[in-house]
Structures are given as C-alpha cells and as structure tokens.
Amino acid sequence: MSNKNYSFFQSVEDYFDNAASATKLPKGLLEQIKACNAVYQMRFPVKIGKNYHVIEAYRVQHSHHRLPTKGGIRYAMSVNQDEVMALAALMSYKCAIVDVPFGGAKGGVKIDPRSYEEADLQKITRRYTTELIRKNFIGPGIDVPAPDYGTGPREMAWILDTYTTFKNGEIDAVGCVTGKPVNQNGINGRTEATGRGVYYGIREAMSFEDDMEALGLTTGTQGKTMVVQGLGNVGSYTATISQKEGGMKIIGVAEYEGAIYNPDGIDVEKLLRFRKKTGSIIGFPGTKKLAKREDALELECDVLVPAALEQVITGANANRIKAKIIAEAANGPVTPDAEEILLKKGIMVIPDMYINAGGVTVSYFEWLKNLSHMRFGRLEKRFDQQTYENLVSLVLRLTGKTLSQKEHNFLTRGADEIDLVRSGLEETMITSYRAIRTILKKNRKVTNLRQAAFVCAIEKIGSDYISLGIFP
C-alpha cells in the first residue's frame, strides 16, 4: 500500500487486528472495542474581520467503556475525520495501558493557527466549545478535552471560561478540560508531561540488559546519542530532560525550517533560546545544516524521537533508518509497512500509545485535583517535613554527625505538587512498560512491543466490557 493513500485510522485498525489475534476474546467483543462509538462532524461560521469563515471541526468519542472520554484538541490544516478517529482510538488504548480510567476521544479544528490573530483564535475556540456543549460532547463526567498539536494552556483556558459561562454553578466545572494554566486550576508539571514521560519510557526500556544487548547497546541512557524530529512542546521537553537528567547527547534536530547536526552534541536549551531570538534553528553555532529536514531521520544514532506529526517514517525511507531505538513521541509516526521493515532490521520501536502517554497521565492527575478541589501536597507536605526533621535530628544526636544546611534541607523537605506529579508519572511509565514487556516475553503469539501494547490495552478494555455484563 502506498504511503500517499495510507489511511491513519486503517493503520490503527491493522495494528489492532494483528494484536487481537493474540488474545482469546470473542470476535463480537473485539469488534466493539475497535469501533468508534460517536463521531461529531461540524461546520460553523466565525466572523474574522469583515468576512465570515466557515470552520470545519470534529470531536470523536471512540470508546465509552469508561467515562468520561478523554483526548486532546488539535489545530492544523491536516485535520480530517480519519485522523481524528485514529487519534481517538489510540487514546482509548493509551488510557488502558497506563491505567487511566477514561475512554478515548479526540478533537480537531481544521485551521492553521499561525494564520490567525489571537482574538480570532479565541473566537474560533469559544465557538467550537459552544458546539460541543450543545451536543453534550464536553463535561467533567462526559468528555474532557486537553491540548494537542497547535493548542496549549491558553486555548484550554478559553474552553473552561466558555463552559463555565454556560454551566454556571456546576461544582466540578473546572474538570471539563485539562492542560489549563496553573493559576486557572491547572497542575504543575502538565506542560512538560508528555516529554518527561517519553524520557521515563526510554530510560526504562534501556534498563534491561538482554534487550539492549540484542541492539548492541549497554544499559542506561548516559552518553547515548539521540535525534529529535520536531521541537515543539513534546520534542523540546524530551530533548532537554533526556540531556539534563539522562546524560544523553542530542546530535540532530529537525524542525519546520530545516534540520541541523553536530556529532559532538547540541545544547538544546541554548538552541531553544537561539530559535526564539532568530525564528529558526538554522545557523545555530557549531551545527551543520542538513540538505533536507527529512535527512535527520536517517542519521546514525542510538535513539530517534519522531515528535511531530504522523507517517514520517514510511516504506519509502524505512530502509535508510539507522537508529537502534525509535521512540514514537508523536502519534502514528511509523506506518505499518515501515514498521515491518524496521523490525526486520532489528530496530526496537517503542509505540506511541505507550511512550507518549505522559500527557494523559498528568491530565488525569489534574482532573483528580479539580474534582477534589485541592492541590496535591497541601495536606501532607508540612507534616512530612516535620517528620523528616525529627528523624534527621534523632540520627544526628545519636551519631554526633553534622550536616550542611543544603544537605539538611534536601533530607527534610516535604513534597510539592510538582514532585508528586513527577513521581506519579514515573511510576506509571515504569509499571506500564514492564506490563507490556511481560506480555512480549510470555505470549508466544506476540512478536514486538506495539503488538504487546495493543494486547495489553485490548484485554483491559475487554475486561471492562465483560464486567459490565455486556459480553458474558
């Protein structure tokens, strides 16, 4: 099948069917799990300047096995029904893998956000939200959107304000959307969540000696080389955290304007400042510009992180990929025909539905915070700090030792919200990877991590349907 006509949703269904054959669930149940439950396609007018623009938009709820449904909203000219259905399906499976109790959903507005002024984007966002409210496609117990490609905390704040205007007095209204600014009922750590989750997932995958030995690598991230395609929210945080906390060397970066390379490593924080100042990564000191931005995908490296849009690694370029590990930070960056080639080459592909689940995980934490009406750490931080103070004082008194003020503060501090969020995310990514890897090692019908991840998700969702008594 040529990549040009490749349906994103069909590729997700192909992956599903491949994994379903490795389960023992009945055919009818598998068909229910695979199907999109609700698709809302809309057109609405928005006055931009003196003219009216008719905006094409979507919201898809893939699975209602658990409520609310959950999924981001993307603003891009690539948005179409097939893409939104595919992303909603991936959200269902993603939530199941990381044990987040949501059904999958996704939204899309077919616009180029760079072509609109902020006031016009606000009009479009508020009108889109109004359409969702009218059809009961949004609410803290119904469907909870979040940021995605082309959107961020600003758009989520507009959605919240629009929702609360219509739902005045609803006690849990702030839980209608996640990814909000921290000062508007958001949560610390949400902005970095997907990128940090990607790093935790890579680190966990690289911790198994036999798996790394098969790839010709040693365990651990320290000193390993990485190439990042896409320097938006996910790619930038993946790169900076992998560099600062994992000791990885970022040797290549690709962005909209082109790609750069430096075998000795690129300081990503400096690169981000350079791009903010100049508007481009091209010309960053010490780097070489590659002929085409796609060339970054073909650089020799230990870990390749496609963190932009779907279907960038295809049957046409898969044979030229030289990475040992591909971590799918974006949704659907590898097509099925490409993955077949990559696996034959012995490349490990860490699937999107696991590796980029950090965003929805921390969105879940934000939703819980909103429903509890209290920030994490408020009750226990000072109590824990005082407990640690007493323990440290006792040990110092019994041993006669002393500590510097810095050491004392480190040992006695209580956890802030950001500490608890990062801890919860790390726990989620570690336990989820181990569950997927166990399926890969124990189920003889499973041959790769993506298939194992799908089996993990399908069996969990199937268990929910069976427990509901729908499929006895």
CA distance 77 to 67: 30
At a CB cut-off of 8 Å and minimum separation 6, what does 302 contact? Answer: 217, 224, 225, 226, 323, 324, 325
Residue written as tokens 């989750």?
A: 197
Q: Hey, which residues are catalytic here? A: 106
User: Are 219 and 225 contacting, i.e. CB atoms less than 8 angstroms apart?
Assistant: no
Q: What is the 3 state secondary structure string of 427-448?
A: HHHHHHHHHHHHHHHHCCCCCC
Task: Give CA separation, 236 vs 87, 182, 191, 273, in Å.
Answer: 22, 20, 11, 11
Burial of 160 (0-12, 13-18, 19+ CB in 10 A): buried
Alpha-carbon span 205 to 201, nearest angstrom: 6
Q: How far apart are CA 328 and CA 3, in angstroms?
A: 18
**With contact defined as beta carbons under 8 Å apart, do 463 and 107 qualify?**
no
Bridge partners of 145, per DSSP, are 71
Comparing CA positions, the residue from 152, 181, 187 lying closest to residue 376 is 187
Q: What is the DSSP string of 42-111?
A: EEEEEEETTEEEEEEEEEEE---SSSSEEEEEEE-TT--HHHHHHHHHHHHHHHHHTT---EEEEEEE-S
Block residue for tokens 């929805």: 360
CB atoms within 10 A of CB 22: 18
Give residue 87's Cα distance to chain centre: 11
Count CB-CB contacts under 10 A for residue 427: 12
Distance (Å, whole) CA 58 – CA 106: 8
Q: With contact defined as beta carbons under 8 Å apart, do 330 and 310 qualify? A: yes
Burial 313-351 (b: 16+ CB within 10 A, else e): bbbebbeebebbbbbbbbbbbbbbbbbebbbeeebbbbb
Find out whether 55 and 130 touch, Cβ atoms under 8 Å.
Answer: no
H helix runs in 167-289, sequence order: 193-205, 209-215, 233-244, 268-278
Structure tokens at 258: 């082109």
